[in-house]
Amino acid sequence: MIPQSFIQELLNRLDIVDVVERYVPLKKAGANYVACCPFHNEKSPSFSVSPTKQFYHCFGCGVHGSAISFVMEHQGLSFPEAVEELAKSIGLPVPHETSQREQETRAAHNAGLPEMMLQALHFYREQLKHSETAIQYFKKRGVSGEIAARFGLGYAPEGWQNLAKVFPDYAQSQALLETGLIIENDEGRRYDRFRDRVMFPILNARGNVIGFGGRVLGAGEPKYLNSPETSLFQKGQELYGLFQARHAIRASGRVVVVEGYMDVVALVQHGIGYAVATLGTATTPVHVQKLLRAADEIIFCFDGDAAGRRAAWRALENALAALTDTARLLFLFLPEGEDPDTYVRQVGQAGFEANFANALTFSQFLFKELTRDLDLTTDEGRAKLVQSAKPLIEKVAAPALQMMIRKRLAELTGLSTAELTSLMPNPAVSRPQESQSRPSQNRSPQVKARRAPSLPRQLLRMVLQQPDLARGIQIEGLDDGGSDERMLLAVLALLNRDPHITTPPAILEAFRGAPEEAVLSEAIGETWAWDGEFDLAQEFQGALEQLRSSARQKRIDSLLALAKTQTLSPEQKQALTRELSTGRAS
């Protein structure tokens, strides 16, 4: 874990204008900087970056956040990856509250594993130029030189120790063994893992080579061979082609998930640049979370046979806890005997994408599989459907979607909503969404009923606009009855506890992962138009006293109401006297 104190130090050292301008050209516009939003298509700039607030906000799509949020969204990185990236950009070493595995990972990095993987990539690419067999393989699959270069395709030649030409310490290097590029047998003899195979480099979110996949050209087995799990490469966390697809995913708002390297390469060759593949494993929860940070629509594309349905079902199961009500998961099954590689070469981009309209939605696929072998005309069949659906539905993290699925289950079984609820209590309606998802999932709805902000909300906005207002404020005596009140008290306590937090993004990052994060993010977005048009300190003091008076009156009313029904205890009488005298004094 990265210590919270370091997150605050990092934000204090960064300038969000510099961070955003690494990826998006900005123009000065008054006190702020503007650009066309990188997160949705637009012709006139509605994306604004404030050097004062150290915050960005889009008036078109509503996305907003800190420098960390921006890098996460724009580059498709996880929170720790974004922090590492930003810290590296200003030469700040990242401290870790480390586990043993994390220590081993960093030690491997320090030992030069990424550089070794890059050297291997260059070697395999160079060898491709000299293998007519490998060249013809890619040509027969319709792969152009441009696409081959984009994916860094290569060839591992026949022979046992070709990499010894690249690494002089081939026979002694422990780090080389840790890359998985070579194998050492029981007799201590070393040899190359990949031999006579076309090579597919696997990149992480930063574009670093972390592993390889190799397809045999002859009749050998296995047909496909991946790098083993290493400190650089965990196949359950990585997706082939995601780095190359990041811009196309952002532009289209969707990602299509397939099963093979050549499926991805073929789809990109035919204009479908938003394709990625799992790496010889089922779709994992980490895969789904990573994809939902990149796009709101995921299309799982599998073969139409039994194996394809099983792979799709595993994807559905592992998506349950990551779902949001803004996400759209689709399941597309290709005609029997076809895979994405062969099919897109037959029908082209337009023909392939036309199939998306016929893809099954998450709930459609769920119930299609659950009812596949059931007779819903019988009580037994309907009862079995309830029991099969129950553990799956209870894991659905999206409250509205879960409610819709429950309603559909009630229709299929002939139960009333009340009857179904008695069988399936504990709906996940109040469960918080996954906290480190895309910043866009905290975007403010564009059509929203306007209501006057509560007094605590007004105070929260003021504190977010000017955090120093909260220093030294006593929170005793303030009401904590509603979400805005609780959020205000939490922020006041934070600012009085940590003097290093001085900006709205720093406050937001302090609550990352907490249930209050969504409320706080929305409130920060509401402060965007405030630019010191009034005396904020004076307004804050007046509103704070008004809130104190309101809380005091509530306590008085509660005690007086209690006195009408029962005798007050000595402590309650003292409290009432104290509250009344405080009110007269003020």
Alpha helices per DSSP H over 90-226: 100-110, 113-128, 132-140, 145-151, 174-179
- Between these two residues, 564 and 446, which has the higher pLDDT value? 564
Mean pLDDT, rounded, for 27-48:
87
Q: What percent of the chain has pLDDT over 90?
A: 42
- Between these two residues, 28 and 256, which has the higher pLDDT value? 256
Six token digits for residue 576:
């009432």
Domain 4-102: give its CATH superfamily. Zinc finger, CHC2-typedomain (3.90.580.10)
Mean pLDDT, rounded, for 500-522:
79
pLDDT digits (tens, 9 = 90+) for 256-315: 999 999 999 999 999 999 999 999 888 988 899 889 888 889 999 998 888 889 999 999
Q: What φ, ψ does residue 361 adopt, rounded to 5°?
A: -75, 170
| Side-chain half-sphere CA neighbours of 384 within 13 A | 13
Q: Average model confidence (pLDDT) for the chain? A: 83
- When pLDDT is cut at 50, 70 and 90, the band that residue 243 belongs to is very high
- Between these two residues, 32 and 273, which has the higher pLDDT value? 273
**How far is the C-alpha of 391 from the C-alpha of 411, rounded, in Å?**
18
On the question of pLDDT at 26 being above 50, the answer is: yes
| pLDDT of the residue at 434 | 39
Q: Which residue has the tokens 């990585």?
A: 238
Written as one letter, the residue type at 78 is S
| pLDDT of the residue at 430 | 40
CATH of 112-226, one of 1.20.1050.10, 3.20.20.70, 3.90.980.10, 3.30.950.10: 3.90.980.10
On the question of pLDDT at 443 being above 50, the answer is: no
Phi-psi region of 180 (alpha: psi -120 to 50; beta: other; left: phi over 0): left
Q: End-to-end alpha-carbon separation of the chain, Å? A: 48
Instruction: Tell me how far CA of residue 504 lies from CA of 48, 185, 415, 508, 572, in angstroms.
Output: 15, 56, 49, 6, 40
On the question of pLDDT at 187 being above 60, the answer is: yes
| pLDDT of the residue at 528 | 65
| pLDDT of the residue at 385 | 96
Closest CA to 117 of 199, 203, 209, 54: 209
Least confident of 157-166, 327-336, 414-423, 459-468: 459-468
**How far is the C-alpha of 56 from the C-alpha of 528, rounded, in Å?**
9
Six token digits for residue 248:
């196309």
| pLDDT of the residue at 269 | 97
- When pLDDT is cut at 50, 70 and 90, the band that residue 439 belongs to is very low
- Please check whether residue 163 is in contact with residue 192, taking contact to mean a CB–CB distance below 8 angstroms: yes
| Side-chain half-sphere CA neighbours of 94 within 13 A | 22
**How far is the C-alpha of 243 from the C-alpha of 276, rounded, in Å?**
9
Mean pLDDT, rounded, for 376-404:
93
- When pLDDT is cut at 50, 70 and 90, the band that residue 147 belongs to is very high
Mean pLDDT, rounded, for 174-190:
92
| Side-chain half-sphere CA neighbours of 354 within 13 A | 7
- Please check whether residue 501 is in contact with residue 490, taking contact to mean a CB–CB distance below 8 angstroms: no
According to DSSP, residue 240 is labeled B
pLDDT digits (tens, 9 = 90+) for 39-78: 887 888 989 998 878 889 888 888 888 999 999 888 888 8
Within 8 A by CB and 6+ apart from 387, the residues are none
What is the CATH number that goes with domain 449-585? Answer: 1.10.860.10
- Is it true that 112-226 and 371-430 share their CATH fold? no
371-430 CATH fold: Pheromone ER-1 (1.20.50)
On the question of pLDDT at 442 being above 60, the answer is: no
- Please check whether residue 340 is in contact with residue 302, taking contact to mean a CB–CB distance below 8 angstroms: no
- Please check whether residue 59 is in contact with residue 51, taking contact to mean a CB–CB distance below 8 angstroms: no
Q: What percent of the chain has pLDDT over 70?
A: 82
| pLDDT of the residue at 570 | 73
What is the CATH number that goes with domain 242-367? Answer: 3.40.1360.10
Q: Is cis: bond before 222, omega within 30 of 0?
A: yes
- Between these two residues, 462 and 409, which has the higher pLDDT value? 409
| pLDDT of the residue at 305 | 84
**What are the residue boundaries of the structural domains of the chain, listed by start?**
4-102, 112-226, 242-367, 371-430, 449-585
- Between these two residues, 240 and 50, which has the higher pLDDT value? 240
Six token digits for residue 512:
């990352």
DSSP per position, 506-570: HHHHHTTTSTTHHHHHHHHHHTTT-SS-S-HHHHHHHHHHHHHHHHHHHHHHHHHHHHHHSPPPH
Q: Is the dihedral of CA 126, 127, 129, 134 positive or negative?
A: negative
Least confident of 72-86, 155-169, 188-202, 356-370: 72-86
| pLDDT of the residue at 210 | 93
| Side-chain half-sphere CA neighbours of 189 within 13 A | 4
